[in-house]
Amino acid sequence: MKNKKLFLIFMVCAMLLGCSKAEKEQGVQREEAANKVITAMFTGPNEDLCNESAFEMIGEGIDTSTERGDGWEELKQNWKDLVGEYFVSEVFDTFVEMGPANQFLSEAYIREETMSVEEIEGSQKEEDTEVYLVHWLMGEEEREDKIFFRYDSEGLIEEVKVL
């Protein structure tokens, strides 16, 4: 009887340690994903991720829902190769096409400025969301932005937005 109790206590402890280890690994994966996405968003200009192909054409006779530069699919593939593994597949296209992926890169491209990440701080962490404070440079100008991430139950990114 005593052996059964000890065995049961041992199994409960092993399960708890295993769960906390899995949670810790998922937290590391989330932080790695967020850092990689943020670094890609705030380091430029980067012709592989943002160039004239990233901009929609505007004008008479242009179907803005389909008109992108010739290299648009290549740019999307470059984003996918760099950070696609961290995203829920349905969300990735939205992040690149309409989300914040090119928001800062396009500004650097248009202004012909360099930009770089100085520091990334985790400022708020919840069960399925995280907010990071990003200290970065656009040319000589120091800036700060908060980036929000939402994750699914497997730790993949479901949403990224600038706060």
Cα–Cα distance between 98 and 56 in angstroms, integer? 11
Closest CA to 33 of 74, 76, 88, 73: 88
Of 54 and 128, more confident: 128
Over 60: is that where the pLDDT of 78 sits?
yes
| Closest of 100, 150, 95, 129 to residue 158, by C-alpha | 150
pTM, two decimals, is 0.78
108-144 residue pLDDT tens: 988 999 999 999 999 899 999 999 999 999 999 999 9
How far is it between the farthest Cα atoms of the chain? Answer: 84
Domains of the chain, each with CATH number or no CATH: 29-162 (3.10.450)
